Amino acid sequence: MLSKNKIKYIHSLEQKKTRKEEQVFLAEGPKLVGDLLGHFPCRFLAATSFWLQEHPGIQASEIAEVSQEELSRASLLKTPQQVLAILEQPQYTLNPEFVRQSLCLALDDVQDPGNLGTIIRLADWFGIEHIICSQNTVDVYNPKTIQATMGGIARVKVHYTSLPEFIRSLGDTPVFGTFLDGKNMYEQPLSANGLIVMGNEGNGIGKEVEALINRKLYIPNYPQGKETSESLNVAIATAVICAEFRRQAAWK
């Protein structure tokens, strides 16, 4: 059974301040919780009797068997799904060597939690293990972000730092960004290492970060010259550019 205080606490994790103070995040649903258990220590798990019977031996500091009605009261989802878990936030160390030795993503003030979650899912798909976020990028532990990662958060490490300072620390490492005045990405050699910077949904890449990008790319529309949408959603643009980087790497 869930107490009123426990339900209130679960709801409070919708707030960044509480998540930061408690160093935890919320995950909901059989697929997501199943993917994350074992990757992050679980402080609390609430599940229906059916789910618990299907998953014996779960490791959690506290486990509560609940009815579907109780789960509905606690859940942040419109349609609660059998189980929710409160997991501990991991602590990662950011090292410029990650970028020198592999392909990484950087996000300059991405604001939408769904976009961030989708980008993490994309990074997981394309084997990108590190995402470096500006300090004004939306919190990765926002419940909407966690849901949108579809478990990718278990394998992709997300860091927050001053992007300009971090990029300066990279020296002559390739730093890519997409711009309307960039070069056609399908006509450029793309490296297997380096940093791909993606910008804010409305304003793109900020001027300070733009000045540090040494490889400007452009995602062309098709057919070129045809009147079309002004821009791509940042998550979709990330998918397009990551796919081309990996395609080129496969042919080398």
pLDDT digits (tens, 9 = 90+) for 1-28: 789 999 999 999 999 999 999 999 999 9
Summarised one tens digit per residue, pLDDT across range 25-73 is 999 999 999 999 999 999 999 999 999 999 998 999 999 999 999 999 9
**Torsions phi, psi of 132, nearest 5?**
-105, 120
Q: Where are the beta strands (DSSP E) in 12-67?
A: 24-28, 42-47, 63-65
Same fold, 4-88 and 97-251: no
pLDDT level of residue 190 (50, 70, 90 thresholds): very high
How long, in residues, is the chain?
A: 252
Residue 135 pLDDT more than 70? yes
Where along the chain do its domains lie? 4-88, 97-251
The CATH code belonging to domain 97-251 is: 3.40.1280.10
> How far is residue 19's CA from residue 7's CA, in Å, rounded to a whole number?
15
Q: Where are the alpha helices (DSSP H) in 41-92?
A: 49-54, 68-74
CA 3 to chain centre: 32
Q: What is the pLDDT of residue 249?
A: 87
> How far is residue 81's CA from residue 180's CA, in Å, rounded to a whole number?
43
The topology under which CATH files domain 4-88 is 60s Ribosomal Protein L30; Chain: A; (3.30.1330)
Bridge partners for 215 per DSSP: 176
